[in-house]
Amino acid sequence: MKKVVKFGGSSLADAEQFRKAAGIIRADKSRIFVVPSAPGRRFDGDTKVTDLLYKMDEIAEKGEKIDDILGKIRARYTEIAEGLGIKDPSTGKPFSLDDEFEKIRVKMTTEPERDYAASRGEYLNSLIMARYLGFEFIDAREVIFFDENGVLDSEKTNDVLGDRLKNAKNAVLPGFYGCGSDGRVKTFSRGGSDITGSIMARAARADVYENWTDVSGFMVADPRVVEEPESIDTITYRELRELSYMGASVLHEEAIFPVRHEGIPINIRNTNRPDDDGTWIVESTCQKPKFVITGIAGKKDFCSVIINKALMNSEIGFCRKVLQAFEESGISIEHMPSGIDTMTVVVHESEFLDKEQHVVSAIHRLADPDTIDIEADLALIAIVGRGMKSMRGTAGRIFAALAHARVNVRMIDQGSSELNIIVGVENKDFETAIRAIYDIFVTTQI
Ligand code: ASP
């Protein structure tokens, strides 16, 4: 049995959290590969080390002095290293990151680089973790590669990292970064250590990818909207993809792809409650979900562009021309429910507002519609669940619950996989709608 364990920033925010994480690793001999994040927030209002590093880069790019901010960053690591009482095995002296901080100072004062700066958060935390556990340290820059377009080169990474891990008894690999095609450090998007963990699990052919964070897995609904929602025991990759796309954020959206490739399950666990089972994310399962729906997630601030044209259905190429208008303006499309003489294109308000009139005139030029209506302040809510398939009455229950809560439904879209139903409501009804759907499927079933 081989496990890859990734710890999030809050799980490694200070010496006490570090000790918990190390205790978890030591408690199970199969936890041999470790991916740390950078130290996160220790309390409300605290600043994550990654944010301090971005700030340091901004200051350095302006040619101003970085001593103060670098001192603050250094203090975070000193607290951890000293708090853990780590000694240098050869000298017996306290473990020191002096040389590392000097390298960072020189680099940032001579040729500052944003990604390099940000990556130091996980790099330094991993040096400490490796030393504390007595594990091998592998620099992610040597084993994770991006191509010329800045996209992860999955196969090269898998080959190189796979080879390296074959001979490793154990190892610590920093999350969040790798090597760009120009040889410089390149980071993933924020929260990207989740992706590193997944890449490592694939390369190591691990049995499980454990992702340790500060919550006991996924909840059926966002706890900021529904009070103490039920947790999800098991969720499939596809369900999770739908939910995370719609805003459920525990795991980075892209983190499922490397492990999905190998069918490796992900187990989301809570560092502060290690006895909780957490949520299992799996390829497929015959385990019945607790409720008909697995989860509800949603996002606010969409616009719908409604294009009307009589006999649209018999005009070949009409939809393509409309979509071309959005493509020309560089706007990505979220949903496209259609009627007989209308098609609706749902887009992000923030992306669309500036280009609104440009898109409207492009649609007129390319597709010659009768009219175009635009509506803003739309919220989309995805109701996701493998249990909905072939289950009669699910949609009926959703709409009855919404009607009962006096929420007007402005749009409906059911995926053909029967895995999700998306409803559009007004922004102001967003929370009420989620609570109503949660109640009908969960509260009334407990
Ligand atoms: N430290 C990085 C961030 O704050 C990456 C991560 O934690 O996954 O986004």
pLDDT tens string 377-393:
999 999 999 888 777 88
Whether 303 is covered by a domain: the verdict is yes
Mark whether 320 and 277 lie in a shared domain: no
Band of pLDDT at residue 355, cut at 50, 70 and 90 = very high
- Identify the pLDDT of residue 310: 92
CA-based nearest residue to 439, from 393, 387, 401: 401
Mark whether 81 and 213 lie in a shared domain: yes
Mark whether 247 and 323 lie in a shared domain: no
CATH number for 383: 3.30.2130.10
Mark whether 308 and 176 lie in a shared domain: no
pLDDT at 417 over 80: no
pLDDT at 446 over 80: no
Give the residues surrounding ligand 1 with Cβ less than 6 Å away: 9, 37-38, 48, 50, 121, 175-176, 190-194
Q: What is the mean pLDDT of residues 160-174?
A: 96
- Identify the pLDDT of residue 89: 75
Mark whether 328 and 405 lie in a shared domain: yes
Q: Which residue among 213, 247, 282 closes a domain?
A: 282
Whether 290 is covered by a domain: the verdict is no
Strand order of the β-sheet with 31-36 is 136-137, 171-172, 31-36, 3-7, 208-213, 266-270, 279-282, 234-236
Residue type, 269: R
Q: What is the pLDDT of residues 115-157, one digit of tens each?
A: 999 999 999 999 999 999 999 999 999 999 999 999 999 999 9
The residue assigned the tokens 């009334």 is: 444
**Considering Cα of 67, then 73, then 76, then 78, what sign does the dihedral take?**
negative
Tokens of 444: 């009334």
Q: Which residue among 257, 282, 307 closes a domain?
A: 282
Q: What is the pLDDT of residues 221-249, one digit of tens each?
A: 998 999 999 999 999 998 988 888 777 77
Number of structural domains in the chain:
2
- Identify the pLDDT of residue 91: 83
Maximum mean pLDDT: which of 215-219, 252-256, 369-373: 369-373
Return the ligand 1 atom nearest residue 121 CA. 1
Mark whether 309 and 239 lie in a shared domain: no
Least confident range of 113-117, 240-244, 255-259, 374-378: 240-244
Q: Whose CA is nearest to atom 6 of ligand 1?
A: 191
CATH number for 271: 3.40.1160.10
Mark whether 270 and 379 lie in a shared domain: no
Q: What is the pLDDT of residues 298-308, one digit of tens each?
A: 999 999 999 99
- Identify the pLDDT of residue 250: 81
Mark whether 182 and 311 lie in a shared domain: no
**Ligand 1 mean position, distance from CA 47 (Å):** 12
d(CA 298, CA 397): 18
pTM of the shown model = 0.87
Q: Whose CA is nearest to atom 5 of ligand 1?
A: 191
Mark whether 257 and 333 lie in a shared domain: no
Mark whether 253 and 147 lie in a shared domain: yes
> Residue 405's domain spans which residues?
295-445
